[in-house]
Amino acid sequence: MNRVQDKVVIVTGGAVGIGRAACTLLAREGASVVIADIQDDAGRELAERLVAEGLVATFKHLDVANEDEVRAVVDATYRQSTRLDVLVNNAGIAGANKPTHELTVEEWQQVMDVNVKGVFLGTKYAVPCMLKGGGGSIINLSSIYGLVGAPDIPPYHASKGAVRLMTKTDALLYAAQGIRVNSVHPGYIWTPLVEQLAKEAGQEPAAFRRQLDAKHPLGHVGKPDDIAYGILYLASDESKFITGSELVIDGGYTAR
Ligand code: NAP
């Protein structure tokens, strides 16, 4: 209990999937959570649900690729609490699933705007707030596909590789000022993002899920909570000696 008591946390893409699980866990462990997402209905519903539990949560509309919106959400959070302790750069999209030579520049750019520019903008505006407070923790959602390759969704894999190294650069840049920056590398987690991949592959969700299960040595895909517990650890002071690291939570996928 109370592993992140009174910390002020922004979770981008916090309305559904991994972000939703992270918001829920962080709030239950004492954080004041800002759920920031383009999914307004799901985000508001989650905030209401958490507040009804007696927890501290608010929803703010945010497109992480829009600089004005990122600045506004970070500024409003800081003005309200006069602190920002944790930023979870979680929002991400899979993007077009085509071989590289068939992709359009627009399809490539769409993924880079959300998955890479979104992490840059979140970090850019969170860091000055964290510096004023003497430190903080930034948690960037990369992927197993920021560590190893796969013959599909090329912009996604490129974006997650970028997030892995952006994390290390920022970890080194801000270590002396007490800001820790780490990346999380999930295997397949059953979320709306992965359900969408099943639809796009024209497969029944159950059959698609069985194929994904078989890719993981532990025999199954993960659940959003599996990742949320890693995020909670990196958000808490329990991880105070960890920066620039890669937290792999993948059922053994990358162990081979
Ligand atoms: P998800 O189920 O699609 O949830 C992500 C949330 O972010 C959705 O509400 C989504 O809205 C929102 N979002 C999309 N674009 C946004 C933007 N520009 N600004 C703000 N919010 C935006 O995804 P997830 O599976 O939970 O994944 C969360 C993170 O983990 C992503 O970075 C993903 O790449 C990473 N990850 C996931 C898996 C996995 O297997 N699920 C594995 C490795 C890494 P829409 O629904 O409208 O897009």
Domain ranges of the chain: 8-187+222-248, 192-221
Query: What count of Cα atoms within 13 Å lies in the side-chain half-sphere of residue 126?
Result: 29
The reply to whether 125 belongs to the active site is: no
pLDDT at residue number 185? 99
Compute CA distances 249 → 3, 104, 163, 225, whole Å.
Answer: 20, 32, 16, 11
pLDDT at residue number 132? 97
Q: Which residues of the chain have pLDDT under 50?
A: none
CATH superfamily assigned to domain 8-187+222-248: NAD(P)-binding Rossmann-like Domain (3.40.50.720)
User: pLDDT per residue over 156-198, tens digit each?
Assistant: 999 999 999 999 999 999 999 999 999 999 999 999 999 999 9
pLDDT at residue number 1? 74
Which residues contact ligand 1 via a Cβ below 6 A?
12-13, 15-19, 37-39, 62-65, 90-93, 114, 118, 141, 143, 186, 188-189, 191-194
Question: In a mutational test of the pocket of ligand 1, which residue from 191, 216, 249 has the highest number of ligand atoms less than 8 Å from its CB?
Answer: 191
